[in-house]
Amino acid sequence: FAAALRAHCAGNIDWAKMAAHVLNSLVEKTSHWDKDERYMATYDLCSELGKDGELDVAMERRICTAVLKQLDDVSNDVQSIAVKCLGILMKKVQHEQVVEISEKLCTLILTGRDELRDIYSIGLKTLITDMPRETGRFVAQYLTEQLVRGASQEENTDVKLVCLDNLADLLRRFGDESARRHAEIVDMSILQLQSDRQVVRKRATACMGAIATSLSEDLLEHLVTTLLRRIEETKKEDEAATLVQAIGTVSRTVGFRMARHLDAMVPLFLRTCGDVDDEGEGGEQLNDLRESCFQAFTALLIRCPKQIVPHLDTILQASLTFMCYDPNYTYEDDDEDADMEEDEEYDEEYDDDDYQGSDDDDSSWKVRRSALKTLESIILNRPEMLSRLFSECGPALIKWFKEREEMVRLDVIACYRALVEMAIKVHGIKAAAPNDGNAMEIVDEAHSSTATPIRILEGQVPQLANASVNQLKGKSIKTKSAIAGVLTSVCTCIADCLADDIPRIVAVLRDALDDKKAAQVFKLDVLTFLRIAMERHAPPVFHGQLVDVTQICERCAAEDWYKVTSEALRLAVVIARILRPIALYRSPEDQGLSAKGELLADQAFPDYASLVGPLHQCILPRLREHDIDQEIKECAIAAAGALVRHCGDALDKAKVDALLGLIMERLRHETSRLSSLRALAGIATSPLNIDLGDVKPAAMGELCGFLRQQNRALKQNALQALSALSNHASEGSSALDAALYQAILQELAPHVADDDLRTAQLALHLTVDVLKVCPEAGEVVTSHVLPRAVSLARSPVLQGGALEALLQLFRELVLLNAPGASFDDLLVDLKEGAQGELPRESLVNIACGIAAICAVTTAEKRNAAMQDFLRDVEGDSEQAQQLGLLCVGEIGRRTDLSGLEDVHPRVLRAFESPSEDTKAAAGIALGALSAGNAAFYLPKVLDVVNQATNRYLALTSLKELIVTYARPTSDPSVLLPHVDSLIPALMAHCESDDEAVRSIVAECLGVLVVLAPDAAIPPIQDVLGRSISSATPDGAWKTRWTLATAMKFAMGPRAPVGPIRGVMPDFLQLLRDPNLSVKRAALLMLNSALHHQSVVLADQVPDTVMPALLEVFDIFIERVVDLGPFKHKVDDGLPLRKAALSCVYTGLDRIPDKLDIPALMPKLAQACGDKAEDMCLLAHQVVIKVSLVHPGALLGSADAVLGPLETVLNKKQKQAQAGHEVERRNELLRSALRALLTINSIDKNKEIRRLQDILEKASKKEHLAEMMAAETAQK
Concatenated DSSP letters for 951-985?
Answer: HHHHHHHHHHHHHHHHSTTS-GGGTGGGHHHHHHH
> What pLDDT was estimated at residue 589?
39
> What pLDDT was estimated at residue 450?
57
Query: Looking at the predicted structure, is the pLDDT value of residue 449 above 60?
Result: no
Cα(789)–Cα(792) distance, rounded to whole angstroms?
A: 5
Query: Looking at the predicted structure, is the pLDDT value of residue 1051 above 80?
Result: yes
pLDDT band at 1033 (very low <50, low <70, confident <90, very high): low
> What pLDDT was estimated at residue 818?
81
* Averaged pLDDT of the chain: 84
> What pLDDT was estimated at residue 528?
95
> What pLDDT was estimated at residue 1113?
92
Question: Among 4-13, 490-499, 627-636, 910-919, which stretch is predicted with the lowest mean pLDDT?
Answer: 4-13
Cα(749)–Cα(631) distance, rounded to whole angstroms?
A: 34
> What pLDDT was estimated at residue 284?
79
Q: Which regions of 554-615 does DSSP assign to beta strands (E)?
A: 582-585, 596-599
Q: Which residues pair with 584 in a beta bridge?
A: 597
> What pLDDT was estimated at residue 27?
76
pLDDT tens across 859-875, in order? 899 889 988 888 888 88
Question: Among 659-663, 704-708, 880-884, 893-897, which stretch is predicted with the lowest mean pLDDT?
Answer: 893-897
Range ranked top by mean pLDDT from 313-317, 906-910, 969-973: 313-317
- 609 and 543 in contact (C-beta within 8 Å)? no
DSSP letters for 702-731: HHHHHTTSS-HHHHHHHHHHHHHHHHS--S
Question: Among 67-71, 752-756, 1202-1206, which stretch is predicted with the lowest mean pLDDT?
Answer: 67-71
pLDDT tens across 886-923, in order? 999 999 888 888 888 788 888 888 888 888 989 999 99
Cα(313)–Cα(160) distance, rounded to whole angstroms?
A: 42
Helix-helix angle 157-174:95-111, to 10 degrees: 150
pLDDT tens across 216-240, in order? 888 888 998 998 888 888 888 788 8
- In degrees, rounded to 5, the angle at the alpha carbon of residue 691 between the alpha carbons of residues 686 and 697 is 100
Residues 6+ apart with CB under 8 A from 988: none
Torsion, Cα 942 947 952 955, to 10 degrees, reads 10
Query: Looking at the predicted structure, is the pLDDT value of residue 591 above 50?
Result: no
> What pLDDT was estimated at residue 947?
80
In 710-822, alpha helices (H): 712-727, 735-748, 757-773, 778-780, 786-793, 800-816
pLDDT band at 374 (very low <50, low <70, confident <90, very high): very high
Query: Looking at the predicted structure, is the pLDDT value of residue 388 above 60?
Result: yes
- 83 and 126 in contact (C-beta within 8 Å)? yes
Rounded average pLDDT over 126-140: 77
Closest CA to 546 of 639, 472, 608, 616: 608
H/E element, 1129: strand 1127-1131
Question: Among 546-560, 577-591, 888-902, which stretch is predicted with the lowest mean pLDDT?
Answer: 577-591
**70-87 burial: b if 16+ Cβ within 10 Å, else e:** bbebeeeebbbbbbbbbb
SS3 1241: helix
pLDDT tens across 455-485, in order? 899 999 999 999 999 999 988 899 999 999 9
Cα(541)–Cα(730) distance, rounded to whole angstroms?
A: 36
pLDDT tens across 83-130, in order? 777 767 766 767 777 777 788 778 878 887 787 788 778 878 877 887
H/E element, 1157: helix 1157-1168
> What pLDDT was estimated at residue 1077?
92
- 433 and 496 in contact (C-beta within 8 Å)? yes
pLDDT tens across 1219-1248, in order? 678 888 889 999 999 999 998 888 776 767
DSSP letters for 49-111: HTSS----HHHHHHHHHHHHHHTT-S-HHHHHHHHHHHHHHTTTS-HHHHHHHHHHHHHHHHH
Q: What is the largest CA-CA distance in the chain?
A: 115
pLDDT band at 439 (very low <50, low <70, confident <90, very high): very low
- 470 and 483 in contact (C-beta within 8 Å)? no
Torsion, Cα 618 619 622 624, to 10 degrees, reads -120
What is the 8-class DSSP label of residue 12? -
Q: What phi and psi, each to the nearest 5 degrees, are found at residue 1258?
A: -65, -35
Closest CA to 767 of 754, 750, 755: 750
pLDDT band at 602 (very low <50, low <70, confident <90, very high): confident
Other Cβ atoms within 10 Å of 976 Cβ, number: 14
> What pLDDT was estimated at residue 1031?
65
Rounded average pLDDT over 391-405: 92
**Percent of the chain at pLDDT above 70?**
90
- 702 and 717 in contact (C-beta within 8 Å)? no
